[in-house]
Amino acid sequence: MKVIILAGGQGSRLWPYSKDNFPKQFLRFHKKFSLLQESLLRFKNADFVSEILIITNSKYSDITKQQINGIKINKKIDILIEPSSKNTAPAIVLAIKYLEKKSFLKKDDKILIIPSDHIISPVEKFLDILNQLNNKNFDQIITFGIRPTRPETGYGYIKIGQRIDNLLLKAKSFYEKPQLEDAKKFLFSGDFYWNSGIFLFSKGVFLKEGEKYLGDIFRSYNDSFENFIKNFDNLNSISIDKALLEKTKRIALCPLDISWSDVGSWDSIYDLLEKDKDKNVKIGNVLTIDTKNSLIIGSKKLISTIGLENIIVIETEDTIFLSKKNNSNQTKKLLKKLKNFSLKNNQISKLNFLSVNNNEDKKR
């Protein structure tokens, strides 16, 4: 099995901790290894994995090399730099084209696509399922689903159909991030899984389905690797879900009965970290009185609170971010406003107070 790790994302939903020049996949979140390093170490003892390819962009090439050098893993690891950021469909096709040129991919070779910023536990259970699938003949693209535990509006959902075999279910339809009422219906119906963004296929099946649905991306694939690179900027910027997975009839879902998070919001960080007796996560110089169910992370300044509940406070060198819990997934909206704010004020480093819950942005 070949593993392609997607590591070019900007992680904007975890702003201001995750920033454009150092996004979340390279952050440790107060653990020994970063999310990217954990993604690599996940396959350290997986004998069925023969090669790992990390695809990222030029901004992150040096960080990626440094983080690879910071771990010990007896695997062949390559880094592929995208000519430009074009979403996951062109990136994955580029990675397969690279592997085909470099490693002489055979038609039946299995390829796993996995993001660099997910947390998976227990790893052994995940690897056992992958090993079973690696030894199995199948003619579908397999997406991995997580049974919902809450009405999450930040994830995509997949509706399942009949069982195919002991490992796979039919994937009937895909749903983008739903409104809360729909997410509640999905949760209680029992027919929906979270879309993990992890999937597996053989080279032959992917190329056959890609020819049907990937349009100009696949036409470029049939050219030489050098010409594919030259034409990359002209390719349609589209996710692999939209371009292929939602269209193909050869799609199956493998349920994962594991603990999983895409670490996509500050609420998910709160869920992952250890809490005190008041259900607070406190990191840094933090002093609280009558404060409950909150995430408070500081870098240098003392953060003190009285009588607060269900809040998120993130302090970095140049920013303080405040939000109610369950609103933190709106940071992308905030960053759009922040671009205009910085244009008007020129000095982004002077911005030290911005709350997603205020009607207007305030500079203090």
CB 278 within 8 A of CB 261: no
- Beta-carbon contacts of 318 under 8 Å, excluding residues fewer than 6 positions away, are 16, 348, 349, 350, 351, 352
Residue among 302, 252, 304 nearest 280 (CA) = 304
According to DSSP, residue 23 is labeled -
Residue among 173, 168, 117 nearest 144 (CA) = 168
Pairing of strands 110-115, 192-202: antiparallel
Please give the distance of CA 290 from its chain centroid, rounded to a whole number. Answer: 35
Ranges of the chain whose pLDDT falls below 70: 11, 30, 328-329, 342-364
Which pLDDT score, from 0 to 100, does residue 27 have?
87
Which pLDDT score, from 0 to 100, does residue 342 have?
56
Q: Where in the chain is the domain with CATH 3.90.550.10?
A: 2-264
Q: Under CATH, domain 2-264 is a member of which superfamily? A: Spore Coat Polysaccharide Biosynthesis Protein SpsA; Chain A (3.90.550.10)
Output the CA angle 214-217-219, nearest 5 degrees: 95
Residue among 98, 42, 32, 114 nearest 70 (CA) = 32
Supply 360's token pair.
């207007």
- Phi and psi at 134, nearest 5°, equal -65, -30
Return d(Cα 63, Cα 69) in angstroms, integer.
Answer: 10
Which pLDDT score, from 0 to 100, does residue 242 have?
93
Summarised one tens digit per residue, pLDDT across range 127-184 is 999 999 999 989 999 999 999 988 888 889 999 999 999 999 999 999 988 998 999 9
Which pLDDT score, from 0 to 100, does residue 86 have?
86
Please give the distance of CA 179 from its chain centroid, rounded to a whole number. Answer: 20
CB 37 within 8 A of CB 116: no
Hunting for tokens 């893993």 — which residue is that? 73
Which pLDDT score, from 0 to 100, does residue 339 have?
74
Q: What is the pTM of this model?
A: 0.86
Q: Alpha helix (H) ranges present in 74-135?
A: 88-103, 123-134
Summarised one tens digit per residue, pLDDT across range 176-214 is 889 989 999 999 998 999 999 999 999 999 999 999 999
